[in-house]
Structure 1
Amino acid sequence: MEEGCRERLLKKNYYEDCPGCKVDQYKESQRGFPFREFFSMWIIVLGTALPISSLFPFLYFMVRDFHIAKRDEDIGYYAGYIGSSFMLGRALTSVFWGIIADRYGRKPVIVFGTVAVVIFNALFGLSVNFWMAITTRFLLGSLNGLLGPIKAYAAEIFRDEYQALGLSTISTAWGIGLIIGPALGGFLAQPADKYPTIFSKESLFGRFPYFLPCLCISLFALAVTVASCWLPETLHMHSVNTLPDDSEDGLEDASRGSNLNGKMEQNEEKGPIAKESLIKNWPLMSSIILYCVFSLHDMAYTEIFSLWAVSPRSLGGLSYTTNDVGELLSLSGLGLLLFQLFLYPYLERIIGATMIIRLGGVLSIPLLASYPFIALLSGFSLAFLISCASVLKNVISVSIITGLFILQNRAVEQHQRGAANGISMTAMSLFKAIGPAGGGTIFSWAQKRQHAVFLPGDQLVFFILNVVEAIGVLMTFKPFLAEK
């Protein structure tokens, strides 16, 4: 057999028996914009993000109905435990799911995570007491560990020119899910009270007033689970038995065997790389630390913005209703979607992920400093400027997170991406658990000092947010941030 034919046969069997190499072949066959891969990432991450924030519009009333709080003032205390149980569960298991993804593949973790949403989000809607609610939320966070592995998956399934778009797809779908989730919870909770002509008090949704939004999200997650079964695996698991048994002659067997042994020896020579400590990988750890700083800022901003928007004018707020805030966030989500789809990939290609992070942080500082002065306006000028500011702030925040996703996945080899993203998710979840509590505390303190000489009222809140943002910008320079 000629040498060229032997190489083609060897490559053919190598692709057939190696899941990772099948994906290499799949990527080589991609032509044009990868619509199918883009849509797959979008719906998976959206199905994961929806249950995270969908409970907040009705959580106060759910805790009240449990009759565990002796006073109305204590309802927020118990609601905080339920709200943080998801992040706590995710923080405890993210590294574990990352290791599983590196050992057994990205696809099993993705499918299992969507199944967890189907089951435990529905059970949360059927909660009859405080402990059932907190347990189901904790299990939902613990067993839904796909966000870290799916970032590795997106970095592997797209061709090089579309990797930035793939990772921005994840952050965009996540941001949209955190906006749509509360809208679903607000409109669909307590349906027997809101829509008595459709749902009676004696029906299932009348007896479990918070089940309908959870059920809708679980049904969407079920559809995502079914669709995920057709995802290709991207983890490289090279098999020794890559050749057929019915070889034409012993000489060709020996030749192919020697070629395979050479390839296996090359893989074995990479053993030290596989054992490289992620903790000692400074490009990875520096990007994770920076990710934690910006995540802390984003969660604190999210908490403070909602409180500030609905607080009365006498305390420096906007006196918005919850519907006004929902419309504002929906507009922000639309602007975010358009930017991430059409502008971010080209911007990343021109100036790079690190420069996007740095410029985004710098632009956020004067933007946040303007919020207290925007609150002095009224009418159309207030609505227009706060809408523009909110859209721009959300675009900047998601662009920064997307850039950090790119840096983290570039800092490690493919066989370590699952574990690396697991570490990132663990650290980020802990900081995100701190952000709302810290932001709410600072906001309450600031509103008590409306007539202070230095940074009165909400000016203090946005000043502290800018301090955190400035620390993040500083950490984008060497030696704080290293790139591989």
Structure 2
Amino acid sequence: MTLRSRSTSARPGSHHETDHLLAKKARVKPNPLPKFQLAVIYAIKLTLPIAHTQAMPYYNVLIGKLAASEGADTGYYSGVMHSVASVATFISMFVWGRLSDSWGRRPVIFLGTAVTAFFTLGFGLSGSLAGLILNRMLAGFFHGITGAIHSVVGELCDETNESIAFPLYDIISALGFVIGPLIGGTFENPAKRWPNVFSSPLWHKYPYLLPCLISSILSAGAALLAVFVLEETLPAKQKHLIADEEPAVVGTSSDSIIDLHEEDVKPHSVKELLSIPVLRAVFASSSALGFAGSAFNSGFILMAYTPLEQGGLALSPSQIGRALSGMGAVSIPLKLCMPVLLRRFGTLNVFDFAMLAWTACFLSMPLASWVAQASGGAAEWASVALTLFLSRLGCLAFSIIMILTRDHTPGHASLGTANGLAELAQSLAGAAGPTVI
């Protein structure tokens, strides 16, 4: 298979930059994708949302127990921990993206997944609010490798098949949102659920260690994939360069090659990237999306945990886990429809629709609380399902941000930095979301 670099990539100073974002691409037959390498990077990506979401079902229960022992407020510390993780991710996004443009994608991905395994296990062994805050801060810092993973996907596809590769990539994230809460909701407090098997005092002292251990093992497996199976996709770090009168080509896998232009070897500076109007617009949109997603994630979980008399839903950890898993499951068919939606309605129209869905989602949350207090039962779950469905429509925008970033970054050598900037903008706004909620 041949993956050729973009013929119309945005470049600093180009008078066509904004036109490219608005232009409707001609329909062409998609080039074949390098399936094996995509499967590897998808498997690595899967472990990140699992590690992040496995704690969601019991997150506020754990904080509540520790807060009660220290005389602190659960809601306040829940928001603080979400914000600390978002700030740490924000700080690291650009750093990891830039490093992946110089070190290569594989070293950054290996380091991030290996350290994620360590801190996920540490979360289950935390015994104080200070320990949890420190853990979330450090885990958030290494979660910033997502920009490097985005870049690998961007370098394995081209403009003819990116509308397939990126939605599939987002489906993997959605699958992680299904598996993670199921792990947390199913295996939390195993000494109480299966006392004959988990009778050791260790499981009584650390009731949330088992789901953390399972997630940690998965992250360690991702680190091994990054070392032994994943191939380097950064053109400047690939081993086999073929000199020719035409632009050079570099092998990314056994069945794919990518054109190597000068812009694919020498990365642009941050100032040069920010001088491109269309990239600035993409980063601003990424920021708005990050705020919406982060505010909903922390707000819904807090509302689900909060008692009815305080305006919440009074759901148990296992019920929260099932709700979040259902939310992730709904994302899968929605994202499978994305290639058709993007071809039919256009990238920007689908993005606008997704952002409007976020508005409807937040408006539906007070309705869910009112229904829970008024009737409960099936009506409550129907209102919760509506809120979660609207949030998944909003999350379609995340795939589009990745597509726009790839399409308008001038060369593969700057893709890690551009993805880092997009993630940085997203994470900065995301840090404010839980605090506002």
Please state which band the TM-score falls in when normalised by the shorter chain. 0.7 to 0.9
CA contact (8 A) 1:171 1:398 kept: no
The answer for the alignment partner of 2:348 in structure 1 is 354
How far apart are residue 420 of structure 1 and its match? 1.2
The answer for the alignment partner of 1:436 in structure 2 is 434
CA contact (8 A) 1:43 1:224 kept: yes
Equivalences, count: 397
Distance in 2 (CA, whole Å) between partners of 1:136 and 1:393 is 31
CA gap of 1:378–1:118, structure 2 versus 1, over 3 A, is: same
CA contact (8 A) 2:31 2:161 kept: no
Query: Is 1:212 aligned with 2:186?
Result: no
CA gap of 1:306–1:261, structure 2 versus 1, over 3 A, is: closer
The answer for the alignment partner of 1:46 in structure 2 is 46
User: Partner amino acid for 1:299?
Assistant: S
CA contact (8 A) 2:181 2:322 kept: no
Bigger drift between 87-96 and 75-84 goes to 75-84
Residues 31-430 of structure 1 aligned to structure 2 (within 5 Å) = 35-63=35-63, 70-71=70-71, 73-202=72-201, 204-228=202-226, 229-237=228-236, 274-275=268-269, 277-309=272-304, 320-341=315-336, 343-365=337-359, 369=363, 375-376=370-371, 378=375, 382=379, 385-386=382-383, 389-390=386-387, 392-413=389-410, 414-430=412-428
CA gap of 1:295–1:201, structure 2 versus 1, over 3 A, is: same
Distance in 2 (CA, whole Å) between partners of 1:45 and 1:88 is 21
- For residues 159-203 of structure 1, the C-alpha deviation after alignment (integer angstroms, 9 at most, x for no partner) is 44331222223333334434533332233233223321111143x
How far apart are residue 368 of structure 1 and its match? 5.3
Distance in 2 (CA, whole Å) between partners of 1:225 and 1:134 is 25
Structure ID, larger Rg: 1
SS for the counterpart of 1:145 is helix
Distance in 2 (CA, whole Å) between partners of 1:194 and 1:262 is 60
User: Partner amino acid for 2:288?
Assistant: V
CA contact (8 A) 1:23 1:234 kept: no
How far apart are residue 289 of structure 1 and its match? 1.0
What is the identity percentage for the equivalent residue pairs of Structure 1 and Structure 2? 23
How far apart are residue 397 of structure 1 and its match? 1.4
CA gap of 1:136–1:379, structure 2 versus 1, over 3 A, is: closer
CA gap of 1:129–1:432, structure 2 versus 1, over 3 A, is: same
- For residues 190-248 of structure 1, the C-alpha deviation after alignment (integer angstroms, 9 at most, x for no partner) is 3223321111143x3334332211110011112222223311221111889958xxxxx
Distance in 2 (CA, whole Å) between partners of 1:385 and 1:269 is 52
How far apart are residue 310 of structure 1 and its match? 5.7
CA contact (8 A) 2:176 2:328 kept: no
In structure 1, stretches of 5+ residues that fail to align are 1-20, 244-255, 440-484
Distance in 1 (CA, whole Å) between partners of 2:237 and 2:294 is 41
How far apart are residue 63 of structure 1 and its match? 4.6
Distance in 2 (CA, whole Å) between partners of 1:267 and 1:38 is 23
CA gap of 1:121–1:58, structure 2 versus 1, over 3 A, is: same
In structure 2, stretches of 5+ residues that fail to align are 6-29, 250-259
CA gap of 1:386–1:120, structure 2 versus 1, over 3 A, is: same
Q: TM-score w.r.t. structure 1 length?
A: 0.70
Distance in 1 (CA, whole Å) between partners of 2:133 and 2:357 is 39
Bigger drift between 193-202 and 376-385 goes to 376-385
